């Protein structure tokens, strides 16, 4: 290179030093923040792609919860005739299905996210936490669509809105936190053990029945209430019913406190576990 066409180099940036990882690594949330645009892009991609080449498109976001509601209504309402505290069965169950479907979808897609994004992970560097995080977020759009049916049902059953409805965004965040916490554990494990792919549907199915979706948590025997509340979805679902329908169970505040606590523990432990496993992802996947 001759002196004449030499351009002065840009001011030297700080050196990034990379060494073999040792022990437990930090969460490196700063890096995650730098890549926030990628999170929105991947979420946007998941949303765009989800209903492409489907005949009914985004109406699946309505059909799914409605069919689920009918099934649960038939089993828990018509057959088992479980008490709903005076609320009409269909709306009682549909209300619970809103956070539940959001949770189940977020859990499933984040649990599978590392494998479905294998092509990215083996070719490009970015904080791997971006992957489960963006897949969890993409469920929010479906949630929004299924909320429309909820509004229709509230008009139909003439259920008045209360101020409590303003807590819904917080409850959505809590749902996502729980799903992400569990999802990160499963996503990391899925890289090591493909068994996770088979466990996921069973886990979701079982979890549905130990959550107050088809029935009210008030139907649980007194001595099991505390144990029951340790399912973090109990608090979320009951709080949702309270926010939408104005009906609160006696133990609601305890349930919500436990739900937040468990959700937080799942999130932090999931993040650390995921980061710990992260170093082997590109080798193993």
Partner 1 sequence: MTIAVHVENLGKQYKIGIAPQGRGNYNTLRDTISNAFSRQKRLAAKKPDNLIWAVKDISFDVEQGQVLGIIGHNGAGKSTLLKLLSRVVEPTEGMMQLRGRVGSLLEVGTGFHPELTGRENLYLNGAILGMHRSEITRKFDEIVAFSEVEKFIDTPVKRYSSGMYLRLAFAVAAHLEPEILVVDEVLAVGDAEFQRKCIGKMNDVAEAGRTVLFVSHNMSAVLRLTDESIVLEKGKMIMRAPSAEAVDYYLSAGHARAGEKVWEPADIPITAAPFSPRAIRIVDNRGNIVETIRSTEEFTLEFEYDLDAPITGLRVGIYLYTARGEPVFTSFDTDDARMFNTHTERKAGRYVSRCVVPPDMLNAGRYTLGVNASSYRIHRYFAEERTLEFNVDPAGAPGMHWTEPRPGAVRPRLDWEIEKVE
Binding site for partner 1 (CB under 8 A): 1, 5, 7, 9-10, 12-21, 37-38, 41-42, 44-45, 48-49, 52-53, 119-126, 191-195, 279, 282-284
Query: Looking at residue 75, what DSSP letter applies?
Result: I
* Least distance between partner 1 and beta carbon 48 (Å): 6
**208 and 104 Cβ atoms separated by less than 8 Å:** yes
* Least distance between partner 1 and beta carbon 14 (Å): 8
Of 168 and 282, nearer to partner 1 (C-beta) is 282
* Least distance between partner 1 and beta carbon 56 (Å): 16
* Least distance between partner 1 and beta carbon 174 (Å): 28
Of 79 and 124, nearer to partner 1 (C-beta) is 124
Of 66 and 282, nearer to partner 1 (C-beta) is 282
* Least distance between partner 1 and beta carbon 208 (Å): 23
Structure tokens at 122: 């083996």
Of 47 and 168, nearer to partner 1 (C-beta) is 47
Backbone angles phi, psi at 270, to 5 degrees: -60, -45
Of 37 and 222, nearer to partner 1 (C-beta) is 37
In three state form, how does the secondary structure of 201-224 look? HHHHHHHHHCCCCCCCHHHCCHHH
Side-chain half-sphere exposure of 8, counting CA atoms within 13 A: 3
Q: Which H/E stretch holds residue 49?
A: helix 36-50
Q: What is the sign, positive or negative, of the torsion defined by CA atoms of 167, 172, 175, 176?
A: negative
Residue entry with tokens 């619970």: 96
């Amino acid at each position: 290179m001759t002196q004449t066409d030499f351009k002065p180099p840009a001011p030297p940036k700080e050196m990034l030093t990379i060494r073999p990882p040792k022990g437990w690594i930090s969460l490196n949330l700063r890096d995650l923040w730098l890549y926030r645009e990628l999170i929105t892009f991947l979420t946007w991609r998941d949303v765009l792609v989800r209903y492409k080449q489907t005949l009914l498109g985004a109406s699946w976001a309505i059909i799914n919860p409605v069919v689920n509601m009918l099934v649960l209504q038939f089993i828990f309402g018509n057959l088992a005739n479980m008490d709903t505290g005076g609320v009409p069965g269909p709306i009682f169950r549909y209300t619970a299905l809103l956070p539940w479907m959001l949770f189940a979808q977020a859990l499933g897609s984040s649990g599978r996210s590392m494998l479905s994004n294998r092509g990215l992970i083996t070719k490009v560097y970015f904080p791997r936490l971006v992957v489960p995080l963006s897949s969890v977020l993409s469920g929010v759009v479906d949630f929004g669509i299924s909320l429309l049916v909820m509004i229709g049902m509230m008009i139909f059953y003439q259920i008045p809105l209360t101020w409590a409805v303003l807590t819904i965004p917080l409850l959505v965040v809590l749902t996502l936190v729980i799903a992400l916490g569990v999802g990160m554990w499963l996503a990391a494990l899925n890289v090591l053990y493909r068994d996770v792919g088979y466990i996921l549907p069973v886990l979701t199915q079982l979890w549905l029945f130990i959550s107050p979706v088809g029935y009210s948590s008030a139907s649980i025997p007194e001595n099991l209430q505390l144990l029951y509340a340790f399912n973090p979805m109990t608090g979320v679902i009951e709080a949702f019913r309270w926010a939408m329908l104005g009906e609160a169970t006696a133990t609601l505040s305890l349930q919500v406190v436990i739900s937040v606590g468990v959700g937080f523990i799942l999130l932090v432990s999931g993040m650390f576990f995921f980061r710990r496993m992260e170093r082997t992802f590109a080798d193993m996947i």
